[in-house]
Structure 1
Amino acid sequence: MTSTDLAALPYRRPGRFRALVVLVLLETALVVSWSAGFIGVRFASDHAPIFLILLWRSLVSGLVLLPFALLMGPKLRGKDIAFQMLLGALAMAGYLSGFALAISFGVPTGLVALITDMLPLAVAFLSWPMLGQGLTGRQWIGSLIGLAGVLIASGWSLGLGNVAWWAYGLPVLGTLSLALATLLQKRSPVNAMPVYQSLCIQCLSAAAIFAVPAWHEGGVLPVMNASFIGGILWLAFIATFAAWGLYYLALRKSSPARVTAILYLSPPVTMIWAFLMFGEPLSWAMAAGLLVSLVGIVIVARARPADCS
């Protein structure tokens, strides 16, 4: 090793450590803000129809981002806009309507969070035909361990009740929709578009989709009370700007398998949010499940993706 190499060595390791710290902080913020979406929908659904909530969540988010998307980003091209509209239909309209409708039909929030956090398995299912990639044995083991932790943490809330059987399929369809959008986003050259531009287009396109069922539910005008407005602001600024912005940012800095594995933590965190906001009881099962999930996440995060091409 030369003197030049020795001089450079102390600067490389701190740089890698800082990058790791930034990634961990990014993923922590993603889990918290992602979990906030379930709580926001639960709160707002007591004050307005579900599609009206989704319409105004998406519309407010898109309109806030619109000036930045038009004035600060690169020039928008037609094919880029069309692709982001497709992502908006899949990742926004498809995913959000799937889990929000399930909650509105009475599926327990913990169960909805559990089903949607099977996203890594949905990504793995679609990765081979779309990317020519599969998960390694180590990644599969880590994913299953993470899923087991979620089952432990969420087990106390899995009562079926008197909910129609088909309602449990709604978050499954939403999760598959998000998995498809995730893989399309990862392999597309449109990744160069700034997050605030892509998120703006996706939100506005989802709002246009949500407007149709909202109209059939009774109209598209907002409910003018503090609870509805507060719920929409919560969903727009925390569950949309923070969660989706961090989600796409994490996708650019890491792999789909790692990012989606991190979301295994959202059911336990969702229960913490529910305890803080609604006084729902916590359990030892959540603490045990959280530790098991962390083990699975570490295994997935440290494994290298397989190349099945």
Structure 2
Amino acid sequence: MLVLALLARAAWPSWRRAGHLAVAGIGIQAGYLGGVWVAVAQGMPSSVTALVVNLQPVLTALAGWAAGERMGPRRAAGLVLGFLGVTLVVAEKLTTSGITTVTLALSGGALLAITAGTLYQKRFCPDFDLRTGQVVQFVASIVVTAPFALAFEDLRIDWTPAVIGALVWSVVVLTGGGISLLFLMLRRGAASQVTTYFYLVPAITAVMAFLMFGERPGWVAVAGMAVTVIGVALAARSPVRTRDAPPG
């Protein structure tokens, strides 16, 4: 992102806005991704981690409701169906192995971090240049995570094809693509609507695993994908209004 920003001579945010971006980035980049990766590294099954962090649309919607947004029946039904669909998608891989107080705390912390970071960014800095803004967020995240890496990791990397592939996926697809798309959507939509699309991540992952590795999903997972799509359609397309706004 830094190279792209310098080549394009993109505008850098003011110090005030950079501070807001740093706070949001610590939640979205460091807290969320760091929490998930460490939880999985500590033995938490990825399927259980997916279930925990996919409570984000529900948590964000509840935060919006507490702030005065109306929770209509269609959105409520969509949120319930979306989470039910996610549960069905990952059901075949669910296991209690590796679930400890520590891994649950890490996954729960990741959930709270991305929810808080998303709401903060929507409130204080929704519109910014994606190149320079994300550089600010990356730097802030490095400042937060580097001490933990120095304290608990040996900093030795075995450059295997699997490691390189995972790194490229994390940097290019997850951060450069997925997080950038999230930020673009936050510019135009309410946070409670945008985060609903997170329900689609397990379904899309299952489809990609089938296309790339031949991992054929079971009928329960396929049914879960359909339920997820219906839930997202209901929740994301429901208009966001405050409780004192007239219905219509």
Fold-level match, TM-score > 0.5? yes
**Shift of residue 151 of structure 1?**
1.2
Alignment equivalent of 2:221, drawn from 262, 286, 289: 286
Please name the residue that 1:261 is paired with.
196
- Are 1:117 and 2:30 matched, yes or no? no
Shift of 1:65: 4.7
CA 1:110–1:270 in 2, change beyond 3 Å: closer, same or farther? Answer: farther
Choose 264-273 or 145-154, whichever is displaced more. 264-273
Aligned residue for 2:69? Answer: 133
SS at match of 1:181: helix
Structure 2 match to 1:46: none
In structure 2, C-alpha distance between the alignment counterparts of 1:106 and 1:261, rounded to whole Å:
27
Larger radius of gyration: 1
> 1:230, 1:146 → 2: CA distance?
30
Whether the 8 Å CA contact 1:127–1:183 is kept in 2: the answer is: no
How far 1:90 moved relative to its partner?
0.8
Alignment of 1:52-201 (within 5 A): 63-67=2-6, 71-73=9-11, 75-129=12-66, 131-188=67-124, 190-201=125-136
Task: Supply the distance in 2 between the matched residues of 1:172 and 1:87 (Cα, whole angstroms).
Answer: 18
Task: Please say which of residues 221-230 and 246-255 is displaced more in the overlay.
Answer: 221-230
Aligned residue for 1:303, secondary structure, equals coil
Which residue number in structure 1 is paired with residue 182 of structure 2? Answer: 247
The CA RMSD measured in Å over matched residues stands at 2.3
Q: CA 1:218/1:179 → structure 2, altered by over 3 Å: closer, same or farther? A: closer
Distance 1:127 1:109, change over 3 A: same
Change (3 A) 1:113 1:163: closer
Contact 1:152 1:285 survives alignment (8 Å): yes
- How far residue 230 of structure 1 moved from its aligned partner, in angstroms, is 3.6
Cα distance, 1:277 vs structure 2: 4.9
> How far is 1:201 from its partner?
0.8
1:306 matched to which residue of 2? 241
Question: SS state of the match for residue 126, structure 2?
Answer: helix
Deviation at 1:275, TM superposition (A): 4.0
Q: Which amino acid aligns with 2:136?
A: I
Corresponding pairs, count:
244
Paired letter, 1:305: V
Partner AA of 1:306 in structure 2: R
Give the Cα separation in 2 of the matches to 1:103 and 1:279: 23
Once the two structures are superposed, residues 131-153 of structure 1 have per-residue CA deviations (whole angstroms, 9 ceiling, x without a partner) of 43243222111100111111111
Q: Which runs of 5+ in 1 are unaligned?
A: 1-61
Shift of 1:280: 4.2
Structure 1 or 2: more helix by fraction: 1
Contact 1:63 1:204 in 2 (8 A): no
Tell me the amino acid that sits aligned with residue 176 of structure 2: F
**In structure 1, what is the Cα distance between the partners aligned to 2:216 and 2:45?**
14
Q: 1:106 to 1:162 in 2, by over 3 A?
A: closer
CA deviations over 1:223-274 (Å, ceiling 9, x no partner): 5555434432221111111011111001112222222111111112223334
Give runs of ≥4 in structure 1 deviating > 6 Å: none
How many Å separate the matches in 1 of 2:229 and 2:26?
Answer: 32
Identity percentage over the alignment?
Answer: 26
Give the Cα–Cα distance (whole angstroms) in 2 for the partners of residues 100 and 193 of structure 1: 27
Q: Which runs of 5+ in 2 are unaligned?
A: none
The one-character-per-residue Cα deviations of 1:39-93 (angstroms, maximum 9, x if unpaired) are xxxxxxxxxxxxxxxxxxxxxxx54455258x222x4311111111111111111
- Residues 1:229 and 1:123: Cα distance change in structure 2 (over 3 Å): same
C-alpha spacing 1:101/1:273, structure 2 compared with 1 (3 Å): farther
Is the alpha carbon distance of 1:63 and 1:118 closer, same or farther for their aligned partners in structure 2, counting shifts above 3 Å?
same
1:3-14 equivalent positions in 2, closer than 5 A: none
Give the distance between the partners of 2:214 and 2:100, measured in 1 at CA: 27
Q: Distance in 1 between matches of 2:74 and 2:93?
A: 30
